[in-house]
């Protein structure tokens, strides 16, 4: 016979008392585990919502950008810097400049401290026949992308450079040649990989092919030369054109400056605004979720301690009752030679059993209740091993604390009092 | 004659009552040797139970000493006294004081919680057979007759082969035949060399005892 066996026998004898104790621990631990699981579910749900929102705004942003591009197409202005001797009538008639200037001009501009111009795009443009495509007309634009200003911190370029060996084709060109992205196409004796095929724009872009500046210079035998610098103005107050012209004239005396459509800027601005709107939307969603979380947290912060204290009070009182019911038994155990700390162990052992069993049951119940309410599809991700350890470890400790005083009283009980009562 | 198993010297015990101290045991000296069966009888309230509990190390006297098997019970620590009690003293009570949720076998082996012994179960089975309880071995006390309950209590008291048996009114709740049987077992225990101290107000117990003592107002008035 051991103390342990005595505890188990007594538990099976007084099933209802044990069940009630178990239930109280179970409810308290379930409240704790359920609240923690719910909060975790809340966090996961927040992540899901924010991720979905981000994806959605990205889609919307792409669409908005496109809308802006269409709306802003003819608003605002950019400038085109051309050689001074370029005849503008020829330019408008031929769709490209026929005079050239050194590529070095753009670098000179980039190294200057000019502030009115934001982006510099040098290009070499040529209208030509495309021998490999039945001599059809093509506008070839060689570009090296945006030239960074030496004086300023680098910004993300608004146009990407066309990488050497690749080609970007306007709508009519790739449709006529029946090529798609990734294919190879010959242009004036060179092979290019098609990097991008534009959609229909309804202007000369549809018959334009973009290649790298270096290759365009080689094809047209214009090494080191360009025939235009597109300068994109962001701070586009209507009256600043004269100022821009004057600034450029001082740096590049033998050039002329004309106004050019400003959609690139509009697009960049549209993108920026859309991004800002999206960020704001996500921020507000996050704020709302955080507010909801702190409300739930506050609720749990009240409910969980109440459940724990209630449980401890119940365990303490029921242990008192148990000790009172077993006064004669305690007396006779002492008469049999059982020591007082063994009596203590009888009652603390019972409390520990209730605590461990209630802790495990409560942890499981709380977890499943939490997952049921948590509204998160991925149940395993709600499982928190730390929470299991904490609640299964905490419950017996709290039960032991609650049972301590009555158990101590039982161990101190004078056996003579009950044994003489005959 | 051999050394006394139980030796009580000048035992005095008073209880604190609402109107001053109540004298329970005034001044008692008594010794019980192995093979002796001493029956103390006297009117209710004369201090018999107090004397018995003090003899068993469950009630510290105000003065005087109690030695069991040569050791002064109240000179040792509580835990030592508990161990000494487990090994040397068997108790039998009027109310039987069986543990209600344990069956007969578990009740009989219950003393091994205090002091483990080799093959406690085997010993318990032996005692259960000796007291004719084989058929009731897995019954709880509530399912037993009073006579059976007292025999379970006797078996439990004998598990550790104590040299001393203390019995407080063991026949008080039993009918004539069962009471006689219990007294006969106590006599048998004494005949086998054990020391028995029985307190009762039943003068009939005297027939089985080797010596009878009359107690009155906390004192021995007649031997
Ligand atoms: N806790 C107590 N407080 C005060 N007085 C007590 C206490 N316990 C016992 N007494 C008194 O001590 C005296 C002896 O009591 P005890 O129980 O030893 O008598 P008893 O001879 O065993 O009586 P009975 O035959 O009725 O069992 C009685 O007068 C009783 O009233
Ligand atoms: Mg009495």
In angstroms, the CA A120 to CA A152 distance is: 13
- Give the nearest chain B residue to A6 (CA atoms): B102
Q: What is the pLDDT of residue B31?
A: 94
Q: Is the overall model pTM greater than 0.95, yes or no?
A: no
Q: Is the pLDDT of residue A388 over 80?
A: yes
Q: pLDDT band for position B2 (50/70/90)?
A: low
Q: pLDDT band for position A109 (50/70/90)?
A: confident
In angstroms, the CA A330 to CA A319 distance is: 14
Q: What is the pLDDT of residue A75?
A: 47
- The Cα-based distances of A213 to A120, A137, A220, A224, A291 in angstroms read 14, 20, 11, 9, 55
Instruction: Choose the most confident range, by mean pLDDT, from A39-48, A209-218, A332-341.
Output: A332-341
- Phi first, then psi, for residue A395 (nearest 5°) are -55, -50
Q: Is the pLDDT of residue A152 over 60?
A: no
Q: What is the pLDDT of residue B206?
A: 80
Q: What is the pLDDT of residues A68-108, one digit of tens each?
A: 655 554 444 567 888 888 888 877 777 677 788 998 888 88
Q: Is the pLDDT of residue A266 over 50?
A: yes
| A344 close to B (CB below 8 A) | no
Q: What is the pLDDT of residue B51?
A: 95
Q: What is the mean pLDDT of residues A271-288?
A: 82
Range with lowest mean pLDDT among A146-150, A153-157, A408-412, B101-105: A153-157
Q: What is the mean pLDDT of residues B2-26?
A: 90
Q: What is the pLDDT of residue A237?
A: 45
Interface contact A336-B58, CB threshold 8 A: no
By alpha-carbon position, which residue is closest to atom 3 of ligand 1? Answer: B15
Interface contact A10-B79, CB threshold 8 A: no
Q: What is the pLDDT of residue B63?
A: 95
Q: What is the pLDDT of residue A236?
A: 44
Question: What is the ipTM for the molecules in this complex?
Answer: 0.94
Q: What is the mean pLDDT of residues A105-125?
A: 79
Q: What is the pLDDT of residue A159?
A: 59
In angstroms, the CA B161 to CA A333 distance is: 17
Q: What is the pLDDT of residue A261?
A: 56
Interface contact A422-B156, CB threshold 8 A: no
In angstroms, the CA A376 to CA A47 distance is: 11
- For an interface test with A, the pick among B57, B74, B114, B141 (most A C-beta atoms closer than 10 Å) comes out as B114
Q: What is the pLDDT of residue A150?
A: 60
| A350 close to B (CB below 8 A) | no
In angstroms, the CA A361 to CA A365 distance is: 6
Q: What is the pLDDT of residue B126?
A: 95
Q: What is the pLDDT of residue A104?
A: 87
For the CA of B169, the nearest atom of ligand 1: 27
Q: Which residues contact B11 (CB under 8 A, 6 or more apart)?
A: B25, B27, B28, B29, B51, B54, B61, B63, B64, B65, B66
Q: pLDDT band for position B167 (50/70/90)?
A: very high
By alpha-carbon position, which residue is closest to atom 25 of ligand 1? Answer: B44
Q: Report the relative pairing of strands B211-216 and B37-41 from DSSP bridges.
A: parallel
Q: What is the pLDDT of residues B128-149, one digit of tens each?
A: 999 999 999 999 999 999 999 9
Q: What is the pLDDT of residues A31-75, one digit of tens each?
A: 999 998 888 888 888 888 888 888 888 887 777 766 765 555 444
Q: Report the relative pairing of strands B4-17 and B20-33 from DSSP bridges.
A: antiparallel
Interface contact A14-B101, CB threshold 8 A: yes
Q: What is the pLDDT of residue A422?
A: 57
A325 neighbors A16 (Cβ within 8 angstroms)? no
pLDDT averaged over every residue in chain A? 84
Ligand 1 contact via A422 beta carbon (within 6 Å): yes
Residues of chain B found within 8 Å of residue A9, distances taken between Cβ atoms? 101-102, 106
Neighbouring CB atoms inside 10 A of B2's CB total: 10
In angstroms, the CA A101 to CA B161 distance is: 123
Residues of chain B found within 8 Å of residue A344, distances taken between Cβ atoms? none
Q: What is the pLDDT of residue A65?
A: 67
Tell me which architecture the domain covering B4-222 has in CATH.
3-Layer(aba) Sandwich (3.40)
Domain segments of chain B as ranges: 4-222
Structure tokens at A254: 């033998």
Instruction: Choose the most confident range, by mean pLDDT, from A51-60, A198-207, A348-357.
Output: A348-357
In angstroms, the CA A215 to CA A54 distance is: 40
Interface contact A336-B99, CB threshold 8 A: no
CA dihedral A403, A405, A410, A411 (to 10 degrees): 110
B96 neighbors B157 (Cβ within 8 angstroms)? no
- Residue B137 or residue B205, greater confidence: B137
- Give the nearest chain B residue to A415 (CA atoms): B58
A vs B: CB pairs below 8 A = 97
Shortest distance, CA B221 to any CA of chain A (angstroms): 22
Q: What is the mean pLDDT of residues A146-161?
A: 58
- Residue B20 or residue A268, greater confidence: B20
Q: How far is the CA of A123 from the centre of ligand 2 (A)?
A: 120
């Amino acid at each position: 016979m051991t103390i342990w066996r005595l505890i188990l026998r007594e538990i099976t004898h007084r099933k209802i008392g044990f069940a009630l104790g178990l239930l109280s621990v179970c409810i308290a631990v379930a409240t704790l585990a359920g609240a923690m699981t719910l909060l975790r579910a809340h966090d996961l749900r927040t992540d899901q919502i924010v991720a979905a929102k981000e994806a959605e705004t990205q889609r919307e942003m792409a669409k908005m950008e496109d809308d802006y591009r269409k709306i802003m197409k003819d608003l605002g202005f950019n400038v085109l810097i051309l050689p001074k001797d370029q005849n503008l009538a020829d330019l408008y008639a031929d769709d490209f400049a026929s005079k050239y200037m050194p590529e070095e001009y753009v670098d000179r501009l980039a190294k200057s401290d000019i502030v009115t111009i934001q982006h510099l795009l040098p290009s070499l443009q040529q209208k030509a026949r495309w021998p490999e495509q039945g001599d059809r007309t093509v506008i070839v634009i060689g570009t090296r992308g945006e030239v960074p200003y030496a004086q300023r911190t680098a910004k993300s370029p608004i146009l990407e450079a066309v990488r050497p060996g690749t080609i970007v084709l306007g709508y009519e060109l790739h449709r006529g040649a029946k090529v798609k992205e990734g294919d190879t196409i010959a242009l004036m004796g060179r092979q290019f990989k098609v990097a991008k095929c534009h959609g229909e724009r309804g202007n000369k872009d549809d018959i334009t092919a973009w290649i790298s500046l270096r290759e365009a210079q080689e094809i047209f035998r214009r090494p080191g030369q360009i025939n235009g610098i597109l300068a994109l103005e962001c701070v586009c107050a209507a009256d600043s054109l004269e100022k821009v012209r004057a600034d450029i004239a001082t740096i590049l005396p033998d050039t002329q400056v004309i106004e050019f459509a400003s959609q690139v800027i509009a697009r960049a601005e549209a993108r920026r605004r859309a991004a800002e709107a999206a960020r704001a939307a996500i921020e507000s969603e996050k704020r709302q979720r955080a507010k909801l979380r702190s409300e739930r947290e506050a609720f749990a912060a009240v409910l969980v301690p109440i459940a724990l204290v209630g449980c401890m009070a119940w365990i303490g009182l029921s242990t008192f009752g148990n000790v009172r019911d077993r006064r004669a038994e305690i007396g006779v155990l002492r008469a049999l030679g059982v020591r007082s700390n063994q009596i203590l162990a009888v009652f603390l052992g019972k409390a520990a059993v209730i605590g461990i069993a209630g802790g495990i049951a409560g942890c499981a119940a709380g977890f499943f209740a939490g997952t049921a309410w948590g509204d998160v599809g991925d149940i395993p991700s709600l499982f928190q091993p730390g929470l299991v350890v904490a609640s299964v470890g905490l419950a017996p400790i709290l039960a032991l604390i609650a049972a301590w005083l009555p158990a101590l009283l039982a161990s101190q009980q004078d056996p003579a009092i009950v044994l003489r009562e005959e | 004659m051999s050394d006394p198993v139980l030796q009580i010297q000048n035992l005095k015990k008073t209880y604190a009552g609402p109107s001053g101290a109540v004298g329970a045991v005034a001044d008692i000296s008594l010794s019980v040797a192995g093979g002796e069966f001493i029956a103390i009888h006297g009117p209710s309230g004369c201090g018999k139970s107090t004397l018995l509990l003090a003899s068993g190390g469950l009630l510290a006297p105000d003065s005087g000493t109690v030695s069991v098997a040569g050791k002064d019970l109240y000179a040792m620590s509580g835990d030592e006294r508990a161990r000494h009690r487990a090994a040397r003293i068997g108790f039998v009570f009027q109310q039987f004081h069986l543990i209600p949720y344990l069956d007969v076998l578990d009740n009989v082996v219950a003393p091994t919680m205090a002091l483990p012994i080799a093959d406690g179960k085997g010993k318990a089975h032996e005692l259960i057979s000796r007291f004719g309880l084989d058929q009731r071995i897995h019954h709880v006390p509530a399912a037993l007759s009073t006579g059976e309950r007292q025999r379970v209590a006797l078996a439990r008291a004998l598990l550790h082969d104590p040299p001393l048996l203390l019995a407080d009114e063991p026949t008080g709740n039993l009918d004539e035949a069962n009471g006689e049987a219990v007294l006969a077992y106590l006599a048998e225990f004494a005949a086998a060399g054990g020391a028995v101290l029985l307190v009762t107000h039943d003068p009939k117990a005297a027939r089985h005892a080797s010596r009878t003592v009359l107690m009155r107002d906390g004192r021995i008035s007649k031997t």
